[in-house]
A and B are shown apart, each in its own frame.
Chain A
Amino acid sequence: MLYYIFRRIIYIIPISLAVSLVCFMLVHIAPGDPIDAMVQPDTPQEVIDRVRAEYGLDRPLPVQFGVWLAKVAQGDFGTSLIKGRPVLPDLVSASGATFILACTGGLLGFVLGCVFGGLAGVYRGTWIDRILLGTAVAGVSVPHYWLGMVMVIIFSVNMNLLPAMGAGPGGSTEWAWDWAHIRYLILPSLTLAVIPAGIVTRTVRGLVSDIMSQDYITTLRGKGMRRRGIVWHVVKNAAPTVLAVIGLQLANLMGGSILVETVFAWPGTGMMLNTAIFQRDIPVLQATTLVLALFFVVLNLLVDLVQTAIDPRISRR
């Protein structure tokens, strides 16, 4: 078992390297010279050459990659071209904000999804199932940035109940768990929760419905188990897959929150990425993408390990 865990963790290394490579290459697939983003259009050639040498852009690509990778490993994520200061601290605080949003939205989505999906699976084929499934499909079909706008219209513009933008009063970026801050969290996390709720509902529904048609459910009925007992069996059978899906969705939320963050001006990694793209701030773009992708990789690993731990059918050798 330990050997399996060890092997699985080791597997991360080539994946992470490959992911880093893709992030690094992002810059270089861009049309034009990266230099153009950093200097004025009419700078004399020798200044350009000097800047190029300074940033190591005159060396061959594999060397550049190696240098960048080495720096990242030491915690130096480069310096923002626009702000002129190191990327890392801003990245950390932005990641924190996104993490809060993603976890809240995720939690809401998963709870809703499990409840709806469980009900739909048990009552499969009835009107309850049809309504819940329809809601789930609508949930995954909705463009969440549009939904965010609609929520803002209803709750901010019309009812003036909740704020439309930002993560704290007065545009502050410091987080605190008080009502003044939480009211900024409500709309964005609800918006974010809709898609995972839909996905989890469909997954749980399919799983539960499958499980309910298994022979061992007939055995359980045949030995007189009460409803509570049967539900426990269903839950334990569904748990490994549901947890895997939830883990994946959480990772997706972290990486995919950019659109919702844009709508609500939430100061997270999504906004950071957005700004970096428009300002052609290459180091920030690289660093943010890398961090988000690596987070995804690590979360996938955790999901894998948890699934192996709780499902006795998976061989551990």
Chain B
Amino acid sequence: MAVQPLVRARDLHVSFVSRDSTVKAVNGIDLDLVEGEVLCILGESGSGKSVTLRALMQLNPKGKTVMSGELNVAGNDMMTISDAKLSAMRGKVVSMIFQEPMTALDPVFTIGQQIGETLMRHEGIGYREAEKKALDLLELVQIPSAKRRLGAYPHELSGGLRQRAMIAMAISCRPKLLLADEPTTALDATVQIQILLLLRRLQQELGMGVVFVTHDLGVAGEIADRIAVMYAGRMVELGSVTDVMAKPLHPYAQGLMGATVHAGNRGKRLTTIPGSPPDLRFPIPGCAFAPRCQYVGDACREHVPDFRYPAEGRAVRCVKAEEVAAA
């Protein structure tokens, strides 16, 4: 019996329309996630990773966003879902944690109140009970002196504690899917590890599926089961974390691995990828990475490469995949 996937996206396109221009942020991606799995979307700024994440719960700005394609989350067709059902899903079935907890939390409400209101909204309980549950959650995310911290305002907490509070708020209703938008990027290095470990533990305890967006390879290596590499609004490589990091097949992914400091690169020079990401206001005829690629050929510039499947669970969008693999 096939397992119902938690997330299924096919040929998803997301554009932002304004009076001056149209930005095609996401250009046809496919995504699959099953329950309990951790997928990491890796990419630079402007690659479309955050937009993809927000599209999973339709959180992009309403007036400006145009979406097309197929998107199914936890059995709901997200392209035709009603506003009421969407609102009921958010926070209960699928939850999100954001990059900057200082601005993502309301400064004039205590964290106890903010966690509590989520519980009251979705579980229909009263204020007293919500407060008790919020206390339990704070302890679950390992915030010291939890009772005192319930009445604290966001600006009274350190960055790490704020992020823990936001995580507590997100998991409060035991969601099946957790979306994380670079949750550790704004934190100090030591705190980053703590938060990552916390997330991994919570994921295992609650059996959540997680889509984790980051630009940091080290973070991906720490927490992910699978990695999807994004460039200019498209997925360019997909595979398990060990496979992709040990043997990247796409030239961009190769460049990324070569540019990062890790054990595999010891004693070698770090590589750089020349040029910069393309401007997504203008349509790109062929492979978006062509201008910066060292293996580029004519076929690359003519049309967008299709996916190739060199192994089970591996996908790569490059016509020269075998050539790159041999390198």
Contacts and interface: CB of A to CB of B under 8 A. Distances in A.
A associates with B: yes
Interface of A: 214-216, 218-226, 229, 233, 236-237, 311-313
Nearest to A310: B108
Nearest to A233: B106
Contacts, number: 70
B73 interface: no
Given A222-B98, A226-B87, 5 more contacts: A224-B118, A225-B117, A236-B109, A312-B153, A313-B155
Interface stretch (B88-96, B128-136, B202-210): B88-96
B59 A218 contact: yes
A214 B153 CA distance: 17
B59 A224 contact: no
Contacts of A229: 117, 121
Interface residues of B, number: 28
Contact of B107 (A218, A220, A222, A312): A312
A86 B299 CA distance: 100
B103 interface: yes
Interface string B157-195: 000000000100110000000000000000000000000
Contacts of A226: 87, 121
A215 B90 contact: no
Interface pairs A-B: 7 shortest CB-CB: A223-B91, A224-B90, A224-B91, A215-B103, A216-B106, A222-B96, A219-B104
B118 to A, nearest CB: 5
Looking at B92, B100, B108, B169, the one whose CB has the most chain A CB atoms below 10 A away is B108
Given A229-B117, A312-B153, A224 B104 contact: no
A224 B108 contact: no
Contact of B170 (A214, A215, A218, A223): A223
25 contacts: A214-B103, A215-B98, A215-B103, A215-B104, A216-B106, A218-B98, A219-B96, A219-B104, A222-B59, A222-B90, A223-B96, A223-B170, A224-B88, A224-B89, A224-B90, A225-B117, A225-B121, A233-B109, A236-B108, A236-B109, A237-B106, A237-B108, A313-B107, A313-B153, A313-B155
B42 interface: no
A214 to B, nearest CB: 7
Nearest to A227: B87
Contact of B57 (A216, A222, A233): A222
B107 A223 contact: no
Contacts of A222: 57, 59, 90-91, 95-96, 98
B105 interface: yes
A1 to B, nearest CB: 15
Nearest to B86: A224
B301 interface: no
